[in-house]
Structure 1
Amino acid sequence: MEYPMKNMTTENCRKTDFYDVIMKSKYMHVYFKDRESRFLDASLAQVYGFGCSRLEEILGKTDHDFFSKEFADEARQDEIRVMETGEPMLNKIERLMWLSGEVSWAQVNKYPLCDEQGNIIGTWGTSVNVTAITDEKRRLEEANMILEDVGNFYKRQCVIDDMTELFNRRKFFEELNSEFAKIKSPARNEFCISFLDLDNFKDINDRFGHLFGDFVISETAAIIRANVRSEDIVFRFGGDEFLVIYKQTDKNGAKAILDRICGALRATSFTKNGISVSVTISGGIASSIEADGIDDLIHFADMRMYKAKARGKDRIVL
């Protein structure tokens, strides 16, 4: 691609009618540099932008005299690249780090500067201060990030049980639908669920109050979560009822996990404010391969949990 100003020379630019207009402008940032990136000429806007009042104050200087070393080194590399390739650098957004510590933003174009024979003898460029635009864009991005965080927070609140920080009933049905969709694939991976219910929990509530009952539920949830595999998902279904999804597991595998949970509960005393109790749990397990759908699966697990209660509690029924 040919650029109209690609081969601008020091002589022909000075012969143009608009040269003086540009260089005397307080609004157009234009500069010329030699091969060592020293300033040869600059518009008044560029001079004033450096905090100077006269052109002579910047002639022979480089970006290192005005900007941080990090920025000046990067600008120098850009100019070397333009001189080596003969190709301009267009519309780069630069973060200008001034020696004063201030930061501003500019949209920058850099071109090769040629002599009358077409030899590249330096660079020339233009810049536009876009600090206000960039700051506004950054504020919008930050606002969008905050809104996204708020959205994620409320989205999480919709599927998390406040008391136990387990997933809730709504999330259970979402995950169950997802698991049933997977078993329709060629792999047809079996999975199981268990329906769990604390034994004699009403007696704990009646005797020690609902606050202590909430404490027992929260501690029980923590024990269940600590004893399942990383791929399993634990839910609080409501009250003192819990559900677990065991991925890629048959009923024997699920029971082995539940036996571990039951053992951990038997070995634990829940103590708070001088009150100490032990709890047990009854549960029923159902497998995806025996159910025609979600309703069947939940029904089988629920009925087996009640069988566990009827058989003396503190046990698991397959």
Structure 2
Amino acid sequence: MEKKYSYQELKNQVAELEKQNQILRLALNNQPEKKIEEKLVIEQHFFKTLMDNIPDYIYFKDKESRFIKSNKAQAKNFGLKDPKEMIGKTDFDFFTKERAQEAFKDEQNIIRTGCPIISKEEKEIWIDGSTSWSSTTKIILNDHKGEVIGTFGLSRNISKQKDAEEKLLKLNEELKEINTAKDKLFSIIGHDLRGPSNNIIGLSTQLLENIDVFDKEEIKMFLVFINSAAQNTTVLLENLLNWANTQTGKIVFNPQKVCFSKITQEVILLKNSIAESKNISLNQTSADKIEVLADKNMLKVILRNLISNAIKFTNSGGKIEVTAIAKKKEVEITVSDNGVGINEDMLKKLFKSNTKSTTLGTAKEIGTGLGLLLCKEFIEKHGGKIWVESTTGKGSDFKFTLPNAVN
């Protein structure tokens, strides 16, 4: 078993090391004693100047990882006024047990193997809970006889560098998201928006060219198609604007107590003409007393998109119903239809920005999948969740929750 040194013995050991160093220098330099002493004084002055002024942390430890010498910067880093206060202390006096144990393990491995640690980046967790980063080099320490007596190290504070790296990584991630958003935006503008716009142009051109030939019913049919295409284009443009604003953080979230049935009725009135053009019934069965804590504009966007999707994937003669059930802390809302339903593969892709999760509607309506992404973002901003229950050929139930305003 290795001998345990007392505090005084450690100080004596340091003094003995310095004495032996002087003897060694005298032996190597066969010069007059006075001249040797002068050289030693100069060298000691240089060493002291280095130790006192270098901003990096320099320290020497014994074989039990106790400090036997350190410079001023190291003492100051540990919250001490004098480097002598370091003598006899260990990392366990300053860092958390886990951090100190890691340093101890590294130093014992150096003593055992002789292998140094070079520029190791270490996260330091102090006893008070604060953290810092350092780049550390540790090497085995031998006396003048070549005997291993411990380790010595040089550390540099790199906390600012690590903070800058983390900020840069975060910025890179944000730039990737912005580029992804930009690419998706251009894709929608270049492809999905062009389709309904071309439909409006094509149908209106046919109508203008044959206005004197078509009878009243034919003209009405064309106008219904044009109106439907125009409304779908408007929804797409609104979604694009809302989505762009969410990506740049420009949408203000203002939750307040609102009557759910009143908001739903407003959206149904807006969407009723499109539903009627496909001979689809659109109704709500929500109690007038149900109130939710929600941003009114966001709630309208959510309902508009879910109802528009239901209309898109419901055949002529179908029905769509909006219901709300008040629970203790939340209100569960369902937009249900008896349309074509969603297959299992497509269900997995819903609400994901990196996959194409849209198909043509029952009347060849074009979609982007952007509306569902908006719904998810807005619902989650309220602290709610959204999910889908669907059976192919029987219809879909889009369900989401919002905070109950009663609580």
Report TM bin, short chain: 0.5 to 0.7
| Equivalent position to 1:37, from 65, 74, 77 | 65
| Partner residue, 1:311 | none
Change (3 A) 1:218 1:207: closer
> Structure 1: 5+ residue runs without aligned partners?
1-8, 162-166, 171-200, 244-259, 271-318
Q: What is the correspondence of 1:252-291 to structure 2 with a 5 Å cutoff?
A: 261=392, 263-264=393-394
- Counting matched residue pairs gives 208
Task: Give me the whole-angstrom Cα distance separating, in 1, the residues matched to 2:162 and 2:397.
Answer: 59
Q: Superposition RMSD on alpha carbons, in Å?
A: 4.2
Task: Give me the whole-angstrom Cα distance separating, in 2, the residues matched to 1:129 and 1:209.
Answer: 69
Q: What is the correspondence of 1:240-255 to structure 2 with a 5 Å cutoff?
A: 240-241=363-364
Cα deviation 1:257-295 (Å, max 9, x = unaligned): xxx94x425xx899xxxxxxxxxxxxxxxxxxxxxxxxx
Change (3 A) 1:228 1:45: closer
Contact residue 223 and residue 264 of structure 1 kept, 8 A: yes
Change (3 A) 1:73 1:47: same
| Partner residue, 1:67 | 95
| Partner residue, 2:343 | 227
Greater relative contact order (Cα 8 A, min sep 6): structure 1 or 2? 1
Which amino acid is the alignment partner of residue 241 of structure 1? K
| Partner residue, 2:116 | 88
Instruction: Give the Å deviation of 1:133.
Output: 1.3
User: SS of 1:106's equivalent?
Assistant: strand
Contact residue 87 and residue 111 of structure 1 kept, 8 A: yes
User: SS of 2:110's equivalent?
Assistant: helix
Query: Normalising by structure 1, what TM-score?
Result: 0.53
Change (3 A) 1:70 1:83: same
| Equivalent position to 1:19, from 31, 36, 47 | 47
Which amino acid is the alignment partner of residue 226 of structure 1? I
User: SS of 1:57's equivalent?
Assistant: helix
Which amino acid is the alignment partner of residue 276 of structure 2? I
Task: Give me the whole-angstrom Cα distance separating, in 1, the residues matched to 2:362 and 2:21.
Answer: 83
Task: Give me the whole-angstrom Cα distance separating, in 2, the residues matched to 1:80 and 1:36.
Answer: 8
Of residues 85-94 and 217-226 in structure 1, the stretch that sits farther from structure 2 once superposed is 217-226
Contact residue 141 and residue 149 of structure 2 kept, 8 A: yes
Task: Give me the whole-angstrom Cα distance separating, in 2, the residues matched to 1:59 and 1:160.
Answer: 68
| Equivalent position to 1:112, from 140, 145, 149 | 140
| Partner residue, 2:153 | 125
Which amino acid is the alignment partner of residue 264 of structure 1? K
Instruction: Give the Å deviation of 1:51.
Output: 0.7
Contact residue 114 and residue 120 of structure 1 kept, 8 A: yes
User: SS of 1:236's equivalent?
Assistant: coil
Instruction: Give the Å deviation of 1:55.
Output: 2.0
User: SS of 2:53's equivalent?
Assistant: coil
Task: Report the structure, 1 or 2, having the larger helix content.
Answer: 2
Of residues 234-243 and 113-122 in structure 1, the stretch that sits farther from structure 2 once superposed is 234-243
> Structure 2: 5+ residue runs without aligned partners?
1-15, 23-39, 195-272, 283-303, 316-336, 350-355, 367-390, 399-407
Change (3 A) 1:142 1:228: closer
